[in-house]
């Protein structure tokens, strides 16, 4: 597990994230992308792992304004549970760092220890030479299970 570019948040590659989810039934994946991203681009399929995924926007489309109730929404979705590890996924691995940091701070304030990790490369990954995502790296490009609505 590497530390995310000076953010104070650790990162895992998508394949490492998948492996952790396979091994740790208590781990929770939170997709922080906007609702349109989830619908048009797709999302991880965790059905073979018997995991559920939380979907809570870090920023809302179209203006990508910050979701000021993000922490409260995630805590509500957890229903009082305190997972050992929370993994945060976005498009390219940028928003997920902020989300992981915010949740780390929230759990620390409650006196709880939860490892909050950003999924490096995100779901679609970096832009390639043609300025397209989804083929260079990221969840999809690494061949991990995903679905599209």
Which stretch of DSSP H or E encloses residue 20? Answer: helix 14-23
Whole-angstrom distance, CA of residue 81 vs CA of residue 45: 22
Are the CB atoms for 138 and 124 separated by under 8 Å? yes
Is the model's pTM score more than 0.75?
yes
Q: Measured on CA atoms in the order 114, 2, 8, 56, is the torsion positive or negative?
A: negative
Tens-digit pLDDT string for the chain (149 aa)? 444 444 568 999 999 999 999 999 999 999 999 998 888 999 999 999 988 899 999 998 887 889 999 999 999 999 999 999 999 999 998 999 999 999 999 999 999 999 999 999 999 998 888 898 888 899 999 999 999 97
Joined tokens for residue 129: 């030479």
Task: Give the CA count within 13 Å in the CB-facing half-sphere of 97.
Answer: 16
């Amino acid at each position: 597990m590497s530390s995310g570019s000076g953010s104070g948040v650790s990162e895992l590659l998508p394949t490492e994230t998948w492996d952790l989810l396979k091994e740790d039934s208590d781990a929770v994946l939170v997709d922080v992308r906007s609702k349109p991203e989830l619908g048009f681009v797709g999302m991880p399929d965790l059905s073979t792992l018997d995991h559920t995924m939380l979907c809570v926007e870090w920023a809302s489309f179209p203006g990508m304004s910050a979701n000021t109730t993000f922490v409260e929404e995630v805590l509500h979705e957890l229903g009082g549970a305190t997972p050992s590890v929370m993994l945060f996924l976005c498009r390219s691995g940028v928003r997920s760092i902020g989300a992981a940091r915010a949740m780390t701070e929230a759990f620390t304030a409650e006196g709880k220890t939860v490892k909050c990790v950003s999924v490096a490369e995100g779901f679609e990954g970096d832009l390639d030479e043609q300025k397209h995502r989804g083929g260079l790296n990221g969840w999809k490009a690494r061949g991990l299970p995903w679905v599209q609505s």
